[in-house]
Amino acid sequence: MPQGTSKVERVAPRIADDATLLRIAAELNREFSVASPSLYWTDFLASTLLGYAGLTGAILLDNAALAVASGLVAMLALYRAASFIHELTHIRKGALPGFRVAWNALVGVPLMIPSFMYEGVHTLHHARTRYGTANDPEYLPLALMKPWSLPLFVVVAMLAPVGLILRFGLMTPLSVLIPPFRRVVEAQYSALSINPAFRRRPPEGEFKRQWYAQEAGACLFAMALVGSVFVFGWRPLLTYMAVHSAMTVINQLRTLVAHLWENEGEAMTVTAQYLDSVNVPPPSYLAPIWAPVGLRYHALHHLLPSVPYHALGKAHQRMVAALEIQPVYSRANYRGMMPLVAKIARSTMR
């Protein structure tokens, strides 16, 4: 962008809502909104079991090649299991009894990403008047920032395990002893968000009880994780942190290409939000690996937030078959991760 261009000139023209697109999306939202408990439980439990089996192999195997292979399996499987946190924020109350408790016990607490860090946060990203604004916890105008912001955005994810150990193993007990610090921790260090200006409200009611129980579990786990060095040595801890770090980096790359990040704070129409988001539909075969549990249909998810992950593929096929919306719908479909990274990187160079 030439020097001297004003901030107002950088804001994209306002995109009007496409009534046909929204009508078809609303119809599909009603048709595909029922979650399948058997699919959720089978997918989640299989991913979790495979992930911990791989992690065990990475820790115990003496053969370096096999240990690395086991670590890779652990990372991909636990990444898929962890991605169900996104579904927890959208599933209807009572649709999957016990799923939230099981997810936190098996994945959320052991990975130090309990669901309270995402619940009540991610839904703000979907709020009609918040998306892409300064009040959106999951949005930054990355495409309009400096070129070095993209590698920094990814590299910082490598430090996630260290940050989470400090958050739960140190900040939680200190915040219990120091009430003013507790308010800071709840507002600034209790959300899986990318917007550094986001401040969270204190929890209330039943959610407060869930929050504190999950936080206590993550605190005990973080302390046990550090203490394990004195019992089992460094290898288990370092292996866990390497797997966790790699998993977080892949998720950060997925986040990087989940949107085009071209909005500079203005409220957007639903159609504009859709076009600022990304689908990577078939025939991309790698997308289910780096964008699991339906995250490859992120743009469609912004139109159909109540549709469970296992139905998004069918919903996408319906949208593609509706020829009258193709001029708009097809614009959010991309071939893969690398073309999207390149597109966003080029935007930062302007």
**CA-to-CA distance for 298 and 315, rounded, in angstroms?**
12
- pLDDT on residue 11: 40
Asked whether the beta carbons of 52 and 22 are under 8 A apart, the reply is no
User: Which tokens sit at 263?
Assistant: 């909005």
Q: Is the peptide bond before 283 cis (omega within 30 degrees of 0)?
A: yes
Q: What is the pLDDT of residue 2?
A: 34
CA distance 195 to 280: 24
Contacts 24+ apart (CB under 8 A), 132-137: 132/263, 132/265, 132/266, 132/267, 132/268, 132/273, 132/276, 133/263, 133/265, 133/266, 133/267, 134/195, 134/197, 134/265, 135/198, 136/195, 137/191, 137/193, 137/194, 137/195, 137/198, 137/200
Q: What's the pLDDT tens digit per position in 107-148?
A: 999 999 999 999 999 999 999 889 999 999 999 999 999 999
**pLDDT, tens digit, for every residue of 185-243?**
999 999 999 999 999 999 999 999 999 999 999 999 999 999 999 999 999 999 999 99
Strands (DSSP E) found in 201-344: none
Q: What is the pTM of this model?
A: 0.93
Hey, which residues does 279 pair with through a beta bridge? 297, 333
Question: What ranges do the domains of the chain cover?
Answer: 11-33+268-336
Query: Is 309's pLDDT higher than 90?
Result: yes
Confidence band for 14, pLDDT divided at 50, 70 and 90: confident
Angular region, 261: left φ>0, alpha ψ -120 to 50, beta rest: left
CB 114 within 8 A of CB 215: yes
Q: Is pLDDT of 342 > 90?
A: yes
Closest CA to 74 of 48, 97, 46: 48
Cα 134 to chain centroid, rounded: 19
- Rounded CA-CA distance 337/335 in Å is 7
Query: What was the pLDDT predicted at 265?
Result: 85
pLDDT at site 3 = 34
Q: Which residues, including other chains, have CB under 8 Å from residue 251's CB and lie 6 or more apart?
A: 79, 82, 83, 157
By three-state DSSP, how is residue 277 classified? strand
